[in-house]
Amino acid sequence: MALDIQDIKTFKIQIAGLVQGVGFRPFIYRMAQEHKLSGWVENRNDGVVILINGTREEAESFRKKILHSAPLASDIETVTLTPHPFRKMQGFLIRNSEDVSEAITEISPDIAVCPDCLSDMKSQAHRIQYPFVNCTQCGPRFSIIRNLPYDRPHTTMDAFVMCPLCRSEFEDISDRRFHAQPVACKHCGPVYSLEERESRTDVLAELLSRVRGGIKEGKVYALKGLGGFHLMCDAFNETAVSTLRSIKKRDGKPFALMFRSLTDAKIHVEISHEEEQLLLSWRRPIVLLKNKSPITPGVADDLSTLGIMLPYMPMHYLLFEALDTNGIILTSGNLSDEPILISNQEAIRQFGHQVEGIITYNREIYNRSDDSVVMVTKNKPQILRRSKGYAPAPIRTYLKTEGIFAAGAELVNSFSMGKGTHVFMSQYIGDLKNFETYQFYQETFERFSRMFRFNPQLLVHDLHPDYLSTRFVNGLSVKNGGIPLLPVQHHHAHIASVMLDQGLDGEVIGFSFDGLGLGTDGNLWGAEVMIAGYHDFKRLYHFEYMPLPGGDRANREPWRMAVAYLYACVGDLFQELPLPLIREAKAADLKNIRNMIDKSLNTPLISSAGRLFDAVAAILGINYRATYQAEAPMKLEAIADRAEKGVYPYEIHQGQVSFRPMICSILQDLKEGIAPPKISGKFHNTLAQLVLELAIRVRKESDLNRVVLSGGTFQNRILICKLVELLFSEGFKIFLPDRVPVNDQGIALGQLAIGAAMRKSM
Ligand SMILES: [Zn+2]
Ligand SMILES: [Zn+2]
């Protein structure tokens, strides 16, 4: 049946979200061609606008198709279809857009190389074996962007002039590289080089063949990645792994591995359907997976999981084609606590004399980012480190966030900036106490402010006056004529972070368990049970205050906290307990700790879940001194017997939970020869049981039924699994964050949420 001309109308489709720099306009163009629709598409500051001629049904099916087949890395927030005054249009055009206001578009995170580009690397004459192949659907984004709008002159690709071939692809609307800003080929783009002590090459075939030989011999290389340098060696060569360990010095953090393929990874780790989706996603995070059997010593000693990722840069694929091994270690190229290195000179200075060679390239990394880390708990992904592939995509909220800067915590820092109703969270920054990391923080603040046209109106920070993030906003306030400041308690921010992430309003029952944060009473908190909303919180229960012998040192030396618990439980007799900890410690050290506690010298009071894990781990002889953050809790989790059903006793008295009865029972179990895995299993059960009991108590007093879990302790999968089952069976609704880490990296989102709520009522 022929269409009546009366049925043809004009419709306007508006799309908001992450729709630029991800191949959106060519996608719309091709779809309009397929559907034989006339009209145009245009980039605007706030998204993409389309005008089409067609019937109501055609327009509606076009809208649906946009939602269902949008480019992978795009993230559509809304698509609206509205009638528009009739306008006769011929053909379909991509219109040039003008930047007319301070409104900003979103910046795409870096995207793993796509299958089409990998096949171009085999078949396209000017891109055979060319490791900088990319298109509108894939390639570097955030790591190369200096400013908006996202055009080549605003990226570190500005140093390379497109050859006529690349330019013709860039300008051809039917080409996959239409307006692909980093478009490049072997005639015009960046190149890799290998710098060895005595020689240097930028011939790719020679580079690959030398690296193949070196890796086979167990050598370590530095490799420039997307967001920074990695250190690389054969994952199955014990000598290579131990050389890499010695380069990383004191740092005992588990190494991440990259496998050639999913099939190769499956030989070593268990992979569920959800985990497989994450491994293969364009974000290509490191996924924490349960290992099937121990891997090479030194990779992830005494842990039951491995951090695995799959190739995501064209160079990774080329390397695996050359290498004999199916798995390489790919760990951050930095010294512990320092930011990942991005400059060639720095990499040569720091690692040049220790590695066999440095594989680098002549394009600058502008925005540094680490590999993100994700795990799956109860079939749901949980982000542990939010960086490459995630940042700087905004977190969309329902709050008015404009002008609010949240400075974050100190140890696992990220900051947040509010724009409209969005929150732009920085990539993972790290421990600000480190000088270079603090510089990275300040520099990233400047860059985000410029890119996102941010003008601070309210500065939210941690209650701790000495955190560098707190000092930073104090300085910023003074410099800018006294921008208002708002201090927020650490554990309140933890709960608010999950509330905003999950879209919760009103009040919730909050469990905030972590290492530590300054409390409103001047003590160190770290296991807090509260009724919380954005405006306020009321602390109802917490772990019994214990002395933290040596202050900050005790955070890195679990044996100190163990001594504090033992002394509290059995008094002076602790020095005669038949524990490996006591046998191996110096008598003078033990006496010293006892004196410090007696005289309250350098023993701040702390109520921390993290330190309780430390104490139990040290009592069981698992870890006395941590070489990386949360080492003792992670190792305690790793040995736990999951089939164990027993629970230890504890006491709840005037809002404080005492674990002295538990510690005494653990000593008794040890005396009876019960193995540490059973004890650890029982310990995990005890915490889960305690949370359930407290949740029930708070529900009785408050009628609240929503339980929010936040803080680093809830990265413990055994604990979460047990808790979710227990709380669910008692009818509670349970909330953990989806879009931000549950650890201190998520704090800035909570600070910002509290800032937005308080400002509204100011
Ligand atoms: Zn591609
Ligand atoms: Zn070219």
pLDDT digits (tens, 9 = 90+) for 229-284: 999 999 999 999 999 999 987 678 999 999 999 999 999 999 999 999 999 999 99
Q: According to the model, what pLDDT value does residue 309 have?
A: 98
Task: Tell me the CA–centroid distance for residue 228 and ligand 2, in Å.
Answer: 25
Q: Output the average pLDDT for the chain.
A: 94
Q: Which ligand is nearest to the CA of 312?
A: 1
Q: Which ligand is nearest to the CA of 313?
A: 1
Task: Tell me the CA–centroid distance for residue 314 and ligand 1, in Å.
Answer: 10
Task: Tell me the CA–centroid distance for residue 110 and ligand 1, in Å.
Answer: 12
**Mean local confidence (pLDDT), 86-102:** 76
Q: Residue 76: is its pLDDT beyond 50?
A: yes
**Mean local confidence (pLDDT), 309-317:** 98
H or E segment and range at residue 542? strand 537-543
Per-residue buried b or exposed e for 213-230, using 16+ beta carbons within 10 Å of the residue's own CB? ebbeebbbbbbbbbbbbb
Task: Tell me the CA–centroid distance for residue 191 and ligand 2, in Å.
Answer: 12
Tokens 């960046």 locate to 190
Q: Residue 58: is its pLDDT beyond 90?
A: yes
Task: Tell me the CA–centroid distance for residue 343 and ligand 2, in Å.
Answer: 25
Task: Tell me the CA–centroid distance for residue 134 and ligand 1, in Å.
Answer: 4
Q: According to the model, what pLDDT value does residue 45 have?
A: 67
538 contact partners, CB below 8 Å, separation of at least 6: 530, 531, 532
Q: Residue 5: is its pLDDT beyond 60?
A: no
Q: Are 636 and 616 in contact (CB under 8 A)?
A: yes
Task: Tell me the CA–centroid distance for residue 428 and ligand 1, in Å.
Answer: 26
H or E segment and range at residue 43? strand 38-44
CA distances from 474 to 241, 368, 407, 419, 443 (A): 44, 26, 10, 21, 17
Kindly indicate the confidence band of residue 2, based on its pLDDT and cuts at 50, 70 and 90. Answer: very low
Q: Which ligand is nearest to the CA of 189?
A: 2
Q: According to the model, what pLDDT value does residue 6 have?
A: 63
pLDDT tens-digit profile of 369-408? 999 999 999 999 999 999 999 999 999 999 999 999 999 9
Residue 131 token pair: 């490791």
Q: Residue 3: is its pLDDT beyond 70?
A: no
Percent of the chain clearing pLDDT 90 (strictly above) = 88
Task: Tell me the CA–centroid distance for residue 148 and ligand 1, in Å.
Answer: 22
Task: Tell me the CA–centroid distance for residue 162 and ligand 2, in Å.
Answer: 5
Task: Tell me the CA–centroid distance for residue 534 and ligand 1, in Å.
Answer: 43
Task: Tell me the CA–centroid distance for residue 364 and ligand 2, in Å.
Answer: 18
Helix (H, G, I), strand (E, B) or coil at 340: coil
Q: According to the model, what pLDDT value does residue 336 have?
A: 74
Tokens 């930028």 locate to 202
Residue 286 phi, psi dihedral angles, 5° rounding: -75, 130
Taking only Cα atoms into account, the Rg of the chain, rounded to an integer number of angstroms, comes to: 28
Residue 517 phi, psi dihedral angles, 5° rounding: -160, 155
Task: Tell me the CA–centroid distance for residue 663 and ligand 1, in Å.
Answer: 57
CA distance 750 to 762: 18
pLDDT tens-digit profile of 602-639? 999 999 999 999 999 999 999 999 999 999 999 999 99
Q: Which ligand is nearest to the CA of 187?
A: 2
456 contact partners, CB below 8 Å, separation of at least 6: 403, 404, 405, 449, 476, 480, 483
Q: Residue 761: is its pLDDT beyond 80?
A: no
Q: Which ligand is nearest to the CA of 136?
A: 1
CA distance 50 to 291: 49
Q: How far does CA 215 lie from the centroid of its chain?
A: 29
CA distance 485 to 473: 8
Q: What is the DSSP string of 362-391?
A: SS---S--PPPEEEEETTEEEEEE--TTTT
Q: Which ligand is nearest to the CA of 71?
A: 1
CA distance 621 to 106: 50
Task: Tell me the CA–centroid distance for residue 189 and ligand 2, in Å.
Answer: 6
Task: Tell me the CA–centroid distance for residue 169 and ligand 2, in Å.
Answer: 9
Q: Residue 4: is its pLDDT beyond 50?
A: yes
Q: Amino acid identity of 362?
A: N
Q: According to the model, what pLDDT value does residue 101 have?
A: 53
Q: According to the model, what pLDDT value does residue 614 have?
A: 98
353 contact partners, CB below 8 Å, separation of at least 6: none
CA distance 237 to 245: 12
**Mean local confidence (pLDDT), 575-593:** 95
Q: According to the model, what pLDDT value does residue 482 have?
A: 96
**Mean local confidence (pLDDT), 77-88:** 92
pLDDT tens-digit profile of 506-529? 999 999 999 999 999 999 999 999
Percent of the chain clearing pLDDT 70 (strictly above) = 98
Residues that place a CB less than 5 A from ion ligand 2: 163, 166, 185, 187-188
Task: Tell me the CA–centroid distance for residue 183 and ligand 1, in Å.
Answer: 10
pLDDT tens-digit profile of 532-568? 999 999 999 999 999 999 999 999 999 999 999 999 9
Q: Residue 161: is its pLDDT beyond 70?
A: yes
**pTM, to two decimals:** 0.94
Query: Among residues 141, 22, 117, 25, which one has the least CA distance to residue 72?
Result: 22
H or E segment and range at residue 596? helix 587-598
